[in-house]
């Protein structure tokens, strides 16, 4: 046990050390989460509020808004999750599985990637691990304190990301089919009451904001066919399922599938069955979602708290070379990903593209905009592109510049349109940053500067900085009203 703890702590220390040398820009989501941390609330356009609260806590502790402090929670939360899997494995598999479950989780490919990127999944997994451990405690003996803790942890998981709801069908089926997975009615009611109390501020926030987060979630899930496509999406479903082999590693995912076969054929004990109910239905539901509405590969991540323990139990019944091979495969991205972030201009694909292309080149766009604004003596920068806006707010956070989103539609298309739309009273002229050609009243807008991206996520693309009157950027109905 102590050796496993030492290994997990050492892996975490490596990740924190390499964060100090990270030369990548904050990704669009990270920069947005940072902005949330500067504007604390009970909800936001696309997610519940927990990640903004966590980033705010760490940047206050560090006294800095640097990318290091924005991302530092990631390896620490993953370390906590890995260590929490040890008592979970001891209770459901056997004591000998505990250290291997912790080390397997700490080296999962998805964990290695999300340790260099701050994401909602990272925080949610820790709360889910706490919830599972407390749930197991309650199946052994009734406890009001454990029930309160269960309600708190599930509530916090919900406040981190709504995907926790995909676990509920499996929990219900486990309690229905496994007598050993049932808790007392009193404990269940306490947990439900506490959980409801915890999530209520976010639900109320959504009510006050026309359910904007729920609408956004429905939009990206495409439950109503909002993208104009309907019917079965074979490629999407197969791609999502195949991506899970990369998310947790091929051997771990195969072990989970093998566990499903054992459970189905009655070859597993109640502990393994419970882990299967807490993981496999979530993967199945999201694969189904991918077939009909599309899904991102990381949406199934909540399944891999219990899923990692489940896979570890299966691998331990096989030759030791299976566990070792899985750890070796996972160790490769564990070592390489932090190194690539420290030397992002060094690692390239055969075609010459940067491997870290998605995480490079964002800040130079913002610097280009700031330099042009200073040269033109303009104090307002406007954009209509969410990734550009995200970095403008972060990179130019210490500049004396006002940054706004172009108000394009009645219903905001993103957080920036919702909270920071350009006001009609904005001082003229403003600097409008875009990749598209712009016309004002049928005439080409004045171009203050052009910039060809030399590298990064928009390499080879031309950006224009337009010097325009704010009325040029207003929706037609607002521009006419202003006249």
Whether 258 and 366 map to the same domain: the answer is: no
Whether 229 and 304 map to the same domain: the answer is: yes
Name residue 451's beta-bridge partners: 463
Take residue 167 and report the two structure tokens written for it. 């676990």
The pLDDT score that the predictor gives to residue 477 is: 41
Per-residue pLDDT of 287-319, as tens digits, reads 998 888 778 888 889 999 999 999 999 998 888
How far, in Å, CA of 470 to CA of 374, rounded? 18
Backbone angles phi, psi at 350, to 5 degrees: -55, -30
Q: Which of 282, 313, 342 is a domain's end point? A: 342
Q: What is the Cα Rg of the chain in Å?
A: 24
Per-residue pLDDT of 3-48, as tens digits, reads 899 999 999 999 999 999 999 999 999 999 999 999 999 999 989 9
The pLDDT score that the predictor gives to residue 220 is: 64
Residue 356 lies in a domain: no
Percent of the chain with pLDDT over 70: 95
With residues binned 3-state (H G I as helix, E B as strand, rest as coil), the percentages for the chain, rounded to 5, are: 65, 5, 30
Q: Residue 222: pLDDT above 70?
A: no
Average pLDDT, the chain: 91
| DSSP E strand boundaries for 60-161 | none
Q: Residue 114: pLDDT above 80?
A: yes
Is there a contact between 287 and 247 (Cβ–Cβ < 8 Å)? no
Q: What's the distance, CA 371 to chain centroid?
A: 32
Q: What's the distance, CA 152 to chain centroid?
A: 21
The pLDDT score that the predictor gives to residue 218 is: 65
The pLDDT score that the predictor gives to residue 297 is: 85
Confidence of residue 219 (pLDDT cuts 50, 70, 90): low
Per-residue pLDDT of 319-371, as tens digits, reads 888 888 898 999 999 999 999 999 999 999 898 899 999 999 999 999 999 99
| DSSP annotation string for 35-51 | HHHHS--S--SSS-SHH
Whether 424 and 332 map to the same domain: the answer is: no
Q: At what angle do helices 280-292 and 304-315 cross, to 10 degrees?
A: 120
Q: Which of 293, 313, 342 is a domain's end point? A: 342
Name residue 444's beta-bridge partners: 439
Q: Residue 227: pLDDT above 60?
A: no
Is there a contact between 287 and 264 (Cβ–Cβ < 8 Å)? no
Q: Which of 342, 375, 408 is a domain's end point? A: 342
Residue 374 lies in a domain: yes
* Number of structural domains the chain divides into: 2
Q: Which residue has the higher pLDDT, 213 or 331?
A: 331
Residues 6+ apart with CB under 8 A from 213: 43, 44, 45, 46, 47, 48, 162, 202, 206
Whether 318 and 371 map to the same domain: the answer is: no
The pLDDT score that the predictor gives to residue 480 is: 38
Mean pLDDT, residues 188-198? 97
Q: Residue 410: pLDDT above 80?
A: no
Residue 348 lies in a domain: no
Whether 89 and 237 map to the same domain: the answer is: yes
Whether 314 and 377 map to the same domain: the answer is: no
Q: Residue 214: pLDDT above 80?
A: no
Mean pLDDT, residues 222-247? 75
Is there a contact between 310 and 281 (Cβ–Cβ < 8 Å)? no
Whether 88 and 202 map to the same domain: the answer is: yes
Mean pLDDT, residues 130-142? 96
Q: What 3-state DSSP class applies to 225?
A: coil
Whether 8 and 130 map to the same domain: the answer is: yes
For the ranges 260-264, 433-437, 475-479, the one whose mean pLDDT is highest: 433-437
Residue 115 lies in a domain: yes
Residue 355 lies in a domain: no
Whether 177 and 67 map to the same domain: the answer is: yes
Q: Residue 144: pLDDT above 90?
A: yes
Residue 454 lies in a domain: yes
Whether 89 and 138 map to the same domain: the answer is: yes
Residue 354 lies in a domain: no
Residue 207 lies in a domain: yes
Per-residue pLDDT of 42-101, as tens digits, reads 999 989 999 999 999 999 999 999 999 999 999 999 999 999 999 999 999 989 999 999
Per-residue pLDDT of 387-400, as tens digits, reads 999 999 999 999 99
Enter the DSSP assignment of 390. H
Please give the residue range of the domain that contains residue 389. Answer: 361-482
Whether 322 and 447 map to the same domain: the answer is: no
Whether 73 and 146 map to the same domain: the answer is: yes
Mean pLDDT, residues 145-167? 95
Is there a contact between 70 and 34 (Cβ–Cβ < 8 Å)? yes
Alpha helices in 316-350 (DSSP H): 320-342
The pLDDT score that the predictor gives to residue 54 is: 98
The pLDDT score that the predictor gives to residue 229 is: 58
How far, in Å, CA of 123 to CA of 137, rounded? 22
Backbone angles phi, psi at 72, to 5 degrees: -55, -35
Element (H, E) at 443: strand 443-444
Q: Which residue has the tokens 């029930």?
A: 147
The pLDDT score that the predictor gives to residue 292 is: 84
């Amino acid at each position: 046990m102590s050796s496993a703890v030492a290994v997990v702590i050492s892996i975490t220390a490596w990740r924190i050390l390499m964060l100090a040398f990270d030369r990548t820009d904050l990704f669009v989501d990270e920069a947005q989460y940072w902005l949330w941390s500067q504007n604390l609330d009970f909800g936001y356009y696309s997610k519940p509020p927990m990640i903004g609260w966590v980033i705010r806590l760490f940047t206050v502790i560090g006294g800095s808004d640097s990318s290091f402090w924005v991302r530092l929670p990631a390896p620490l939360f993953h370390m906590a999750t890995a260590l929490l899997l040890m008592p979970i494995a001891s209770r459901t598999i056997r004591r000998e599985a505990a250290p291997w479950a912790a080390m397997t989780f700490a080296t999962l490919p998805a964990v290695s990637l999300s340790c260099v990127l701050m994401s909602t999944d990272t925080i949610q997994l820790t709360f889910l691990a706490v919830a599972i451990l407390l749930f197991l405690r309650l199946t052994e003996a009734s406890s009001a304190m454990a029930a309160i803790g269960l309600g708190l942890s599930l509530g916090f998981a919900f406040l981190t990301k709504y995907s926790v709801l995909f676990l509920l069908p499996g929990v219900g089926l486990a309690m229905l089919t496994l007598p050993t997975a049932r808790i007392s009615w009193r404990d269940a009611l306490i947990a439900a009451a506490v959980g409801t109390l915890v999530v209520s501020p976010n639900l109320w926030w959504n009510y006050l904001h026309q359910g904007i987060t729920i609408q956004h979630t429905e939009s990206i899930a495409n439950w109503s066919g909002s993208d104009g496509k309907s019917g079965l999406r074979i490629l999407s479903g197969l791609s999502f399922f195949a991506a899970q082999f990369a998310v947790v590693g091929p051997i771990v995912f195969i072990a989970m599938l093998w566990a499903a076969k054992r459970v189905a054929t009655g070859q597993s004990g109640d502990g393994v069955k419970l882990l299967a109910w807490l993981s496999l239905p979530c993967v199945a539901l999201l694969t189904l979602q991918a077939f009909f509405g599309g899904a991102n590969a990381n949406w199934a991540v909540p399944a891999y708290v219990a899923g990692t323990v489940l896979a570890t139990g299966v691998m331990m019944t096989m030759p030791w070379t299976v566990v070792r091979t899985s750890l070796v495969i996972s160790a490769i991205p564990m070592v390489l990903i932090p190194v690539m972030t420290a030397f992002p201009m060094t690692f390239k694909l055969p075609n010459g593209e940067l491997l870290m292309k998605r995480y490079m080149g964002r800040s130079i766009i913002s610097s280009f905009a700031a330099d042009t604004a200073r040269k033109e003596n303009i104090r307002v920068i406007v954009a209509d592109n969410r990734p550009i806006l995200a970095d403008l707010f972060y990179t130019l956070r210490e500049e004396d510049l006002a940054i706004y989103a172009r108000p394009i539609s009645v219903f905001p298309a993103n957080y920036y349109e919702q909270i920071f739309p350009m006001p009609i009273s904005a001082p003229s002229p403003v600097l409008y940053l875009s990749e598209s050609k712009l016309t004002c009243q049928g005439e080409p807008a004045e171009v203050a500067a052009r910039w060809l991206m030399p590298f990064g996520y928009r390499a080879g693309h031309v950006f224009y900085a337009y010097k325009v009157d704010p009325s040029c950027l207003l929706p037609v109905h607002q521009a006419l009203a202003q006249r």
